[in-house]
Amino acid sequence: MASHLPELAASPWVREWISWIQPGGAVLDLACGSGRHARLLARMGFEVDAVDRDLSLFADPPAGVATREADLEQGAWPYAGKRWAGIVVTHYLHRPLLPILVDSLEPLGMLIYETFARGNERFGKPSNPAFLLQPGELLDAVRGKLRVVAYEDRVVSEPREAAIQRIAARRE
């Protein structure tokens, strides 16, 4: 059954950094939502694991995308021992997963992460501090384990005004 929801455009941050993922590698799209990044990655030839607690928004995954419905906050990590060439996370934060994600990258694997930061409460939801990154929190999550290629902690105006923190980091 085809989705009646318009496919959202991929994040410009994700688009900028996915070329750093090793061609042909496996990629995890964590909290994949409607699958906008999983679809893009599959079109680029990656084998994608797309996971979310509710896959109802991700209708008709394309070839190359394996979907998994899992509660990442209450259940066990569904990919124990698996490694990826890339991990993409946008608009999702569950702090206990940060070290797991960092440790789940292959050598030369890329972490591309973008979510809301403290200060976003000025612009709407999310406004709960539990779902907003503290200043430098993504840097702290990768310190000593990954090489930071790019990092931002800023207010953006598109697709809507929001306080965002983003990182692109590679396992050396």
pLDDT tens-place string over residues 36-85: 999 999 999 999 999 999 999 998 899 999 999 999 999 899 999 999 99
- pLDDT for position 8: 66
For residue 129, is it within any domain? yes
Q: Domain residues for 27?
A: 15-71+79-170
For residue 1, is it within any domain? no
For residue 3, is it within any domain? no
Q: How many CB atoms lie within 10 A of CB 12?
A: 13
- Whether 31 contacts 114, CB under 8 Å: no
What's the total number of domains in the chain?
1
CATH number of the domain that residue 109 is part of: 3.40.50.150
For residue 6, is it within any domain? no
Averaged pLDDT in 10-residue chunks for the chain of 172 residues? 52 96 96 95 96 92 95 92 97 96 98 97 94 97 98 93 97 95
For residue 46, is it within any domain? yes
Q: How many CB atoms lie within 10 A of CB 104?
A: 21
Distance CA 153, CA 114 (A): 10
**pTM for the model:** 0.93
